[in-house]
Amino acid sequence: MSSAQSSTSRRGKKPHASRGEKHLKVLIVGAGIGGLSTAIALARHGVKSTVLEKLPQLSPASSPSGVGAGIQLPPNGARVLRQLGVLDALLENGGQALEFMDHMSWADGTVIRRRDLTKCEELYGAPWINVHREDYLRVLYNEAQRSGVSVMFNCDIAKVEPETPSVTLNTGMIIKGDVIIGADGIWSNMRNKIFPDPPRPVETGYMAYRITLTTEELLSLKDFRINEMVRDPQIGQRIWLGPDSHLVLYPVKEGKKFNIVAICPDDIPSSEYRDGCFSPVQANPSDIRRTFADWDPVITKMLSRVTKALKWKLCTITEPPTWVKGRVCLLGDAAHPMVPFLAQGSVAASEDAITLGTLLGLTSKHLLPLQPSMPDLSHVLKKYEQLRRTHARFIQTQSLRQGYFNRLSDSREQVLRDEIMGSMEFNMLKPDGSLRDVGPEEKGGPPLTDGKWCWIVFRHDFEQQARIMFSNAYGKFIQAFGVGTPTSEKGRVVEDVHAHGQQEMVRSHL
């Protein structure tokens, strides 16, 4: 039983503080996608937060997450953006809904499978988006500012006290909060400070070149196929699958630029691990050209235009024993970094954000008035971990699995993969509205082209899950101790969940 349930309040007794008198104070370390999204999610519940960012401004191109590149947001990511109220702003500021995704053969660009992504809204309830990170972060930052979030730059963390909880900045300044969230990325300082034996980096053996070319640069190549790709009125993502490497191309900045992510065996020495992190390093364009020399001529031509690029060592970490220590928790890459082969890393950070933001928001609204001395916030943070950890681990391993399929050499296995991909059915609904029961993944296909896999992952709604989890965990307590308040807190929980179409499920839990 949580201390939330062992409060000194008694049944029928009016709570000491009335609603709205006290709010949680949340500190978030890191103004990346996860940190800013959490701040917005909290603000939507009236919870104020302060975000502490190490850099002097929103992160530049050289940061581990690489703001200078494009990012894709499959439908589960776009759903969170809609829930945070920023999807329209993103689409008005450089974000585009992708219309197709082609998986292609490395040698000549033969399309193995074209997937119609315009169906994503209908199938999964949200579009598939691509955006430049700079635009994405700017939209999140503007929304955070509009919502009253305070973002402090130049703040590095020297010390963390999980029980108080508080952080001490390098300047010696101590900042206290009711909860502290470590959203400071894969090389998390927060994580290192809360665990005596912090998780270690795990090199995956692969690295990513990230390149941006302008549309003019591509058109100047005067290649018929490149012109078609660049001028195609449809906005699409193309993925060439080849031996030990794969390469992804998609437009950003409303088609004015094209983003290339080229994955290949890692040549960055382990000695580059310095000060607790692998930073991106300058790449030699001729190395990239050499790696993809025998590939589809379209690729070799495009790469001939590259004058500068960065390369990232693709790493994960050994699993942290827990995401929660006292009233400090980890979020996003700080908790569960993953390889980018399913484009789910930042999406998982925003799913964490909506989950945690909802749980803490409901806590502030429904538990805090009943326990003004403070509910057991560590217990609430554990609920967040409980909802998110297994799912994040699943996506981590599935991302590795997708990478395996993307980089098969020409072989019987690759022929089988292409056959499976070619025969995929994405619509899991039969004409009568019932679900198909046999998923193509039973043939062992890659996740991204597996209808059943996509159905499960892309439709998952963590805001809804968090409301149900909160109701399950605290509904009875609120019902018992909220009686006698002018409006029953139980009623409010039901109202909150009702707004998301879960009334019946929650009633049965309360």
Ligand X SMILES: Cc1cc2nc3c(=O)[nH]c(=O)nc-3n(C[C@H](O)[C@H](O)[C@H](O)COP(=O)(O)OP(=O)(O)OC[C@H]3O[C@@H](n4cnc5c(N)ncnc54)[C@H](O)[C@@H]3O)c2cc1C
Give least dist CB 65 to ligand X, A: 3
Q: Which is nearer to ligand X, 149 or 367 (CB)?
A: 149
Q: Which is nearer to ligand X, 81 or 370 (CB)?
A: 81
Question: Pseudo-torsion of CA 226, 227, 230, 232, nearest 10°?
Answer: -120
Beta bridge partner(s), residue 104:
111, 240
How many binding residues for ligand X (CB under 6 A)? Answer: 39
99 neighbors 235 (Cβ within 8 angstroms): yes
129 neighbors 179 (Cβ within 8 angstroms): no
Q: Which of residues 278-337 bind ligand X (CB under 6 A)?
A: 312, 332-334
Which of 49, 259, 346, 355: binder of ligand X (CB under 6 A)?
A: 346
Q: Which of residues 393-412 bind ligand X (CB under 6 A)?
A: none
Express the helix, strand and coil content of the chain in percent, nearest 5 each: 40, 20, 35
Q: Which is nearer to ligand X, 71 or 90 (CB)?
A: 71
Which of these segments, 58-66, 227-235, 373-381, 383-391, binds ligand X (CB under 6 A)?
58-66
Residues 415, 409: Cα–Cα separation, whole Å:
10
Give least dist CB 155 to ligand X, A: 6
Tell me the per-residue interface mask from 139 to 178 with ligand X, x by CB under 6 A, - otherwise.
----------------xxx---------------------
Residues 478, 294: Cα–Cα separation, whole Å:
65
Give least dist CB 185 to ligand X, A: 3
Which of 26, 28, 52, 310: binder of ligand X (CB under 6 A)?
A: 52
Closest listed residue to residue 468, CA positions, set 502, 430, 434, 423: 502
Which of these segments, 54-62, 99-107, 228-236, 416-424, binds ligand X (CB under 6 A)?
54-62
Give least dist CB 440 to ligand X, A: 24
Residues 187, 278: Cα–Cα separation, whole Å:
8
Residues 346, 90: Cα–Cα separation, whole Å:
15
Residues 314, 337: Cα–Cα separation, whole Å:
10
Does residue 54 touch ligand X according to CB under 6 A? yes
Tally DSSP H helices, then E strands, for the chain: 17, 20
Give least dist CB 228 to ligand X, A: 24
Tell me the per-residue interface mask from 234 to 263 with ligand X, x by CB under 6 A, - otherwise.
---------------------------x--
Question: Pseudo-torsion of CA 81, 470, 361, 496, nearest 10°?
Answer: 80
Q: Which of residues 75-104 bind ligand X (CB under 6 A)?
A: 77
Determine if residue 148 is left, alpha or beta; phi over 0 gives left, psi from -120 to 50 gives alpha, anything else beta. left
Give least dist CB 506 to ligand X, A: 30
Which of these segments, 14-22, 181-189, 404-412, 486-494, binds ligand X (CB under 6 A)?
181-189
Angle between helices 462-482 and 377-406 (to 10 degrees): 170
25 neighbors 57 (Cβ within 8 angstroms): no
Q: Which is nearer to ligand X, 138 or 436 (CB)?
A: 138
Which of 15, 34, 94, 236: binder of ligand X (CB under 6 A)?
A: 34
Q: Which is nearer to ligand X, 59 or 83 (CB)?
A: 59
Closest listed residue to residue 506, CA positions, set 483, 485, 476, 481: 476
Give least dist CB 403 to ligand X, A: 12
> Which residues of this chain interact with ligand X, rule CB under 6 A?
29-35, 52-55, 59, 63-65, 71-72, 77, 155-157, 183-185, 189, 208, 210, 261, 312, 332-334, 340, 343-347, 349
